[in-house]
Amino acid sequence: MDTISRCGVASMNDAGKAKTLSAIQSMTDATGLRQVMKNAQNQGHVDLYKAAFRRRCEVLGQVAHGPSDTVARRLEATVCAIEDIRGGRSACRTRPMIKRRGAVGTIKQWLTYKDPIEGYRALVLTGLWDLLGEAIPLDFPEQFTDNEIAVARYRLADAKQGRISEPFLPALKSGSLFGF
């Protein structure tokens, strides 16, 4: 276990925080990252907690999907984040959807929803908007339509402010999303 996991993250200056954040980004052990999260929470370092949480979700996504399928890895990080925020409760509808539709198909489906799912709300309300499935199309625009990307941008603009978009499904180009 590395130094930040063993020693905790008690009182530190800006240089110490920067060093810890850098160390978090290089960690590849989900258990060690969980310990960093615990230490950061105990010491009241919300920024370090969130950095370790994000990195842990990334690591779990890599473990599940390897380096080749970046969209699936990112979606797995999203699902892990949702499950963790919900106290370990499984994303029992999302995981089967991913098996049926694949990662891109699942995200496309989410973008058609007229109301936010519980996991979406949880990520927005905890300030973890960057882990939303809606963030993924912006990094992989070649796999999504212009309307899907527009919905993702629309939702993320509010999510960055800690708000849920209202309406959740905006009217786009030909009157509504995907023409329905």
What is the dihedral sign for C-alpha 58, 61, 65, 71?
negative
| Domain map (residue ranges) of the chain | 1-68, 90-180
| Ramachandran area for residue 127 (φ above 0: left; ψ -120 to 50: alpha; else beta) | left
Q: What is the pTM of this model?
A: 0.79
Cα(132)–Cα(81) distance, integer angstroms: 9
User: Could you give phi then psi for residue 131, rounded to 5 degrees?
Assistant: -95, 0
Please report, in tens digits, the pLDDT of each residue of the chain (180 residues total): 444 444 454 556 778 888 999 999 999 999 999 999 999 999 999 999 999 999 999 999 888 776 678 999 999 999 999 999 988 888 889 999 999 999 999 999 999 999 999 999 999 999 999 999 999 999 999 999 999 999 999 999 999 999 999 999 888 765 444 443
DSSP label at residue 122: H
